[in-house]
């Protein structure tokens, strides 16, 4: 299997400055702090974690919407970390983004036709070919050609997200970064949009980086899952194995928060205690030790490294994987 996207030790730090006349850097918010993973062509990697852990910043840094502070980004085997100008512009065709808010991401003064036509105009698709492609894209995402004359406010949330998906597909990209594309939708609509994305992946051979905070949603679309906490990946592996045998206490807590479908089946909820640290002043050692029920003195002093915890390639960053696995 060919690796389409590879990220090595990616960092994105936002400086904290003080003073207006002579600004001084007082520190930095470490939004992304040494993230590494691979995404195979035609597959989906789910990037999961709570709000503020750096998921969206990771996606935007990969797309070069923000410049990385450190590390490397490889796309199709090419190092694009410091790509600029026309070379970066040409790469935009192959990497697209689906936004979280389907209303805020669409210009309310533009019709659906104008919204989808915008990337086509930029890359030189004109006239009859452009109109034909717009009509086809609307049909592909489950809308009709006559919808192109309407404005975003005339659609429901699910329909607006379909317009956003059509816009992302306009240039026939290889990689689509989905930044919580269903979190703002009703539960019933979430399932429809996820099913649509799966169908589009099969039809066009798309590769997804699917960012979400809900492991339940990720289950239906992802081949692999990376669990992120405070700018770092703490567990990585196939979803089925992570769901059945979570090795990191943070992953266990996320899985326990998924609502149970059957009212007769009881599940023990893991409630994390302690203070959630700030990404501008992370704790020493393991960043999770302030909330971890298994934390010991070693966790406060020594940072754990990602290590293999199963023969299938599942990895986790925890000093006490065996003890946590028994409880999980």
In order along its 328 residues, the chain shows pLDDT tens digits of 799 999 999 999 999 888 778 888 888 999 999 999 999 999 999 999 988 899 999 999 999 999 999 999 999 999 999 999 999 999 989 999 999 888 899 999 999 999 999 999 989 888 899 999 999 999 999 999 899 999 999 999 999 999 999 999 999 999 999 999 988 788 888 889 999 999 999 999 999 999 998 887 888 889 999 999 999 999 999 988 988 889 999 999 888 887 776 666 676 777 788 778 888 888 999 999 999 888 899 999 999 999 998 888 899 999 888 766 655 5
Which is nearest to 75 in space by CA: 12, 6, 8?
6
Distance CA 13, CA 309 (A): 30
User: What pLDDT score does 168 carry?
Assistant: 95
Residues in the chain: 328
Taking the CB of residue 146, how many other CB atoms lie within 10 A of it?
9
Which is nearest to 277 in space by CA: 20, 29, 27?
29
User: What pLDDT score does 126 carry?
Assistant: 86
Domain boundaries, the chain: 247-328
C-alpha distance from residue 104 to each of 11, 161, 305 (Å): 28, 11, 39
User: What pLDDT score does 155 carry?
Assistant: 93
C-alpha distance from residue 324 to each of 153, 203, 316, 327 (Å): 49, 41, 11, 5
Distance CA 80, CA 290 (A): 36
Which is nearest to 243 in space by CA: 273, 262, 207, 217?
217
Which is nearest to 277 in space by CA: 288, 266, 265?
288
Each residue's pLDDT tens digit, 39-66: 999 999 999 998 889 999 999 999 999 9
Alpha helices, DSSP H only, in the chain? 55-62, 85-91, 112-122, 127-140, 157-169, 187-204, 215-219, 239-244, 249-256, 297-301, 321-327
User: What pLDDT score does 262 carry?
Assistant: 66
CA 11 to centroid of chain Cα atoms: 15
Distance CA 232, CA 219 (A): 21
Distance CA 111, CA 114 (A): 5
Distance CA 275, CA 262 (A): 33
**Backbone phi, psi, residue 248, to 5°:** -105, 140
């Amino acid at each position: 299997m060919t690796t389409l996207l590879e990220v090595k030790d990616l960092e994105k730090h936002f400086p904290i400055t003080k003073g207006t006349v002579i600004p001084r850097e007082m520190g930095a918010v470490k939004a992304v702090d040494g993230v590494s993973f691979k995404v195979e062509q035609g597959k989906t990697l789910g990037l999961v974690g709570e709000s503020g852990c750096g998921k969206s910043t990771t996606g935007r840094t990969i797309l070069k919407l923000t410049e990385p502070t450190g590390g490397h980004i490889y796309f199709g085997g090419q190092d694009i970390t410091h790509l600029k100008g026309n070379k970066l512009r040409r790469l935009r065709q192959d990497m697209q983004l689906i936004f979280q808010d389907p209303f805020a991401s669409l210009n309310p003064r533009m019709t659906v036709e104008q919204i989808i036509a915008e990337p086509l105009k930029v890359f030189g698709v004109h006239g009859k070919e452009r109109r034909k492609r717009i009509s086809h894209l609307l049909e592909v995402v489950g809308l009709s050609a006559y919808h192109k004359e309407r404005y975003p406010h005339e659609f429901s949330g699910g329909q607006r997200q379909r317009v956003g998906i059509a816009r992302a597909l306009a240039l026939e990209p290889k990689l689509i970064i989905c930044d919580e594309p269903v979190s703002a939708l009703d539960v019933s609509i979430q399932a429809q949009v996820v099913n649509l994305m799966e169908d589009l992946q099969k039809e066009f051979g798309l590769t997804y980086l699917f960012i979400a905070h809900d492991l339940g949603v990720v289950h239906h679309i992802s081949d692999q899952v990376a669990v992120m906490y405070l700018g770092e990946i703490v567990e990585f592996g196939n979803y089925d194995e992570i769901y059945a045998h979570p090795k990191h206490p943070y992953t266990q807590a996320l899985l326990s928060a998924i609502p149970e479908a059957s009212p007769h089946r009881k599940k023990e909820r893991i409630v994390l205690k302690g203070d959630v640290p700030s990404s501008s002043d992370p704790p020493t050692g393991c960043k999770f030790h302030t909330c971890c029920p298994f934390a010991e003195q070693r966790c406060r002093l020594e940072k754990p490294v990602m290590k293999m915890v199963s023969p299938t390639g599942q990895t986790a960053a925890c000093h006490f994987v065996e003890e946590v696995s028994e409880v999980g």
